[in-house]
Amino acid sequence: MKKLITIILLFLLNISSSYALIEVDITRGNLDPLPIAVSPLHVDVKSEDVDDIKVKNLGEDISKIIEKNFRFTGLFNPINKEAFVQKPDIAHLKPRFEDWRLIKAQALVTGKLLIKDGKLKVEFRLWDLTASKEISALAFTTTPSNWRRVAHIISDKIYERLTGEEGYFDTRIIYVSETGPKNQRVKRLAIMDQDGAQVKYLTLGNELVLTPRFNPANQLVTYLSYFRNLPRVYLLDIETGNQEVVGNFPGMTFAPRFSPDGKKIIMSFAKDGNSDIFTMDIETRVVEKITENSSIDTSPSYSPDGKYICFNSDRSGLQQIYVMKADGSNVKRITFGKGLYGTPVWSPRGDLIAFTKVHKGRFYIGVMRPDGSGERLLTENFYQEAPSWSPNGRVLVFYRETKSGPKGKGFSAKLWSIDITGYNERQIGTETDASDPSWSSLLSK
């Protein structure tokens, strides 16, 4: 993943948002998604095929990925290409605005690409059809195998220009792939692009693995493995495949996450029936005990500034969410609603904590402010848990399990996403059943 895409900003025009007439409000459920036309990128005739990439189709393929990203947000409504009225190369030079307005588009994306000497050169432009002007443009060069990321980076730039928020398309999700019968699940770590493409399996399924989480730079993953039947927190380098046990604990370690600076892993350590929260500095190996309580303390998650930790504890008798300072002082319970609360995870924006709530046999994904006020339940189901934030703090991914019949018949586990507005709930397609998703940060940042 170190092979970071090289982005060369050639020109970036008129970025001041005061000029734009079109904008998309993402702070509420969008009942009127913005009609947008994504023209296939024009493929330069001088382009050469590389490896298994058919350059002739690449312009079309990239535009389709952009359209899928936009459709998935619920904020945009990509217009059917059959209605398009201008050829990609001409539209990219200067669209006939009135023709595009005729098919009810309010924004238009055009672009062109060239593969030459083993390099992929792409440029795109975003046009405001209401104001009849170009409002964003970008050109960059990368290796041809990165073409999907090109589509995601373009999507991010457009999303940012139109919503005023950072995008989240050039990202990946790590999760646990599940196969086999419910009482003998085979679980493997898997990683995929945010849109479900390019799945890679990182473990073979020989041992049970759970709860993978990215570090802030997205090269390391911490997770729980039952290797040799000893449940311990592991650290995996995705690029090299190297893995190691985190710390030297004489018992189960679990529920790991990275600190926001990536220097520490915070996790639970269970011994003699008591689970407490510890941190380990990855470089110095120094271990610190953060909580000391005879209750179960688990599911710790740092605030993005690293000053606070939210966590799950049953010290009141049943599962509730607490917040404390990063050194373990000033512990405060923040959930007082009816039911049980678990899996707290702090938004990357710092403004909210997402959680799972269990009440009267139903499972909810919700958000609340870090002081516990403003609780909002976004979705209810038979079983769902483990929310993880998109890097812009606008979308949650989580997993949902179905109720199963005798012998576990009909059981499935799938990944879902929902906007924090409570709208736009969608299943994320995966090859196998899936659980424990964790969203990366933006790869190109």
Partner 1 sequence: MKFETNLNKIIIVLFASLALSACSTAKKSDNGSSGDVYTGKDTVEYLASGVPDRVFFATNRTSLTTASRETLRKQSTYLRKNKDLNITIEGHADERGTREYNLALGERRANAAKDYLMTYGISGKRISVISYGKERPVNPDSSSLSWSQNRRSVTVKVN
Pick from 18, 229, 240, 284: which binds partner 1 (CB under 8 A)? 229
> How many residues interact with partner 1 (rule CB under 8 A)?
51
Pick from 1, 85, 199, 296: which binds partner 1 (CB under 8 A)? 296
User: From residue 115 to residue 144, what is the string marking binding to partner 1 with x (rule CB under 8 A)?
Assistant: ------------------------------
Interaction with partner 1 in 414-443: which residues (CB under 8 A)?
435-436
Q: Which residue has the tokens 């953060």?
A: 290
User: From residue 324 to residue 363, what is the string marking binding to partner 1 with x (rule CB under 8 A)?
Assistant: ----------------x-xx------------x-x--x--
287 binds partner 1 (CB under 8 A): yes
Smallest separation (angstroms) from partner 1 to the CB of 290: 13
Q: How far is CA 230 from CA 134, 249, 288, 293, in A?
A: 59, 11, 22, 24
Interaction with partner 1 in 301-320: which residues (CB under 8 A)?
312, 314, 318-319
As a whole number of angstroms, the distance between CA 426 and CA 72 comes to 8
250 binds partner 1 (CB under 8 A): yes
67 binds partner 1 (CB under 8 A): no
271 binds partner 1 (CB under 8 A): yes
Smallest separation (angstroms) from partner 1 to the CB of 202: 19
210 binds partner 1 (CB under 8 A): yes
385 binds partner 1 (CB under 8 A): yes
Q: Which residue has the tokens 């699940």?
A: 185
Q: Pull the structure tokens for residue 347.
A: 């938004």
Smallest separation (angstroms) from partner 1 to the CB of 165: 29
407 binds partner 1 (CB under 8 A): yes
Smallest separation (angstroms) from partner 1 to the CB of 374: 22
284 binds partner 1 (CB under 8 A): no
215 binds partner 1 (CB under 8 A): no
Pick from 333, 383, 423, 424: which binds partner 1 (CB under 8 A)? 383
> Which C-beta is closer to partner 1: that of 336 or that of 382?
382
> Which C-beta is closer to partner 1: that of 19 or that of 382?
382
Pick from 252, 281, 359, 424: which binds partner 1 (CB under 8 A)? 252
29 binds partner 1 (CB under 8 A): no
273 binds partner 1 (CB under 8 A): yes
268 binds partner 1 (CB under 8 A): yes
Contacting residues toward partner 1, per CB under 8 A: 181-183, 185, 208, 210-211, 224, 229, 231, 250-252, 254-255, 268, 270-275, 287, 289, 296, 298-299, 312, 314, 318-319, 340, 342-343, 356, 358, 361, 382-383, 385-386, 401, 403-408, 411, 435-436
